[in-house]
Amino acid sequence: MENNIEKKLQDTPVEKKASWITFRLIFALALFLVTLFLFVAIADEIVVKNKGDFDKDISDYIISLVSPGFTSIMQGITFFGSSTFLFPAYILLILFYILTKKSRLALDIAMIGLSSTGILFLFKDLFKRHRPLDPLISDVTGFSFPSGHSFSSFTFFGLLVYIVWMSGIKKIWKIIIAIVLFALAAIIAFSRVYLRVHFPSDVIAGFCLSVVWLMISLWILHKTDRGVSFPAKNK
């Protein structure tokens, strides 16, 4: 199935096509390999071998930032990475695309959301890392590595960035929206370390796993002709 990028490429000279595809492929491959390597390195060096200097140094610095007001803000921000927010957000996004006659995109979103949940719990159960002992909030359960809030936030907002980037809006708005969504996910990840319910390595690993899984998911969907066609850009 043709998508917006494929339509654009059809109207591009062969030399430009090859150059654009090569750059995009190299960038995507480099991003995939770097984040995969970083995730494996964190899992091996910090979690398995229990080398905690990295986590301790960052956590000690963040402790100096703690105040009642800032803690209240972080508690509010961390909500947007919880299943209480993300599950309804996924449902609304899926319903929106069903109602706008884009059932394939709705199905793709559902598949990525469900598979990412399975991947997250698989890795948590595999590593069984315990959380920090002195959290600033109560009733936090489950294992620590990787951070579910970090992984889920970067996956959901990363998916939104992909959808926006494939749309027909102006490029400047794509860039602005992408920056805002990435910043929101990053702040959510930071809130987990600030609230001392995760180690810094947990949230970095959550980000890396999110990038790897999202890229694999989108690649599989396109390779199996599940990629969604978007409206062509206005010329």
Q: Within the chain, how many helices (H) and strands (E) appear?
A: 9, 0
Residue 84 lies in a domain: yes
Residue 95 lies in a domain: yes
Residue 233 lies in a domain: no
Percent with pLDDT over 70 in the chain: 86
**Torsion sign (Cα): 123, 127, 128, 132:** negative
Question: d(Cα 91, Cα 138) in Å, to the nearest integer?
Answer: 28
Q: How many CB atoms lie within 10 A of CB 65?
A: 10
Q: What is the mean pLDDT of the chain?
A: 84
Residue 217 lies in a domain: yes
Domain that holds residue 64: 4-223
Domains in the chain, number: 1
Q: Report residue 10 as tokens.
A: 């059809």
Question: d(Cα 7, Cα 172) in Å, to the nearest integer?
Answer: 21
Q: How far is CA 218 from CA 12, 28, 66, 116, 221, in A?
A: 24, 12, 39, 12, 5
Q: How many CB atoms lie within 10 A of CB 6?
A: 12
Residue 207 lies in a domain: yes
Residue 229 lies in a domain: no
Structure-token match 């059932």, residue found: 103
Residue 232 lies in a domain: no
Instruction: Encode pLDDT of 94-147 as tens digits.
Output: 999 999 888 888 999 999 999 999 999 999 999 999 998 888 888 788 899 999
User: Cβ-count burial of 151 within 10 angstroms (0-12 exposed, 13-18 middle, 19+ buried)?
Assistant: buried
Instruction: Encode pLDDT of 63-101 as tens digits.
Output: 888 999 999 999 999 999 999 999 999 999 999 999 988
Instruction: Encode pLDDT of 16-34 as tens digits.
Output: 545 556 777 787 788 888 9
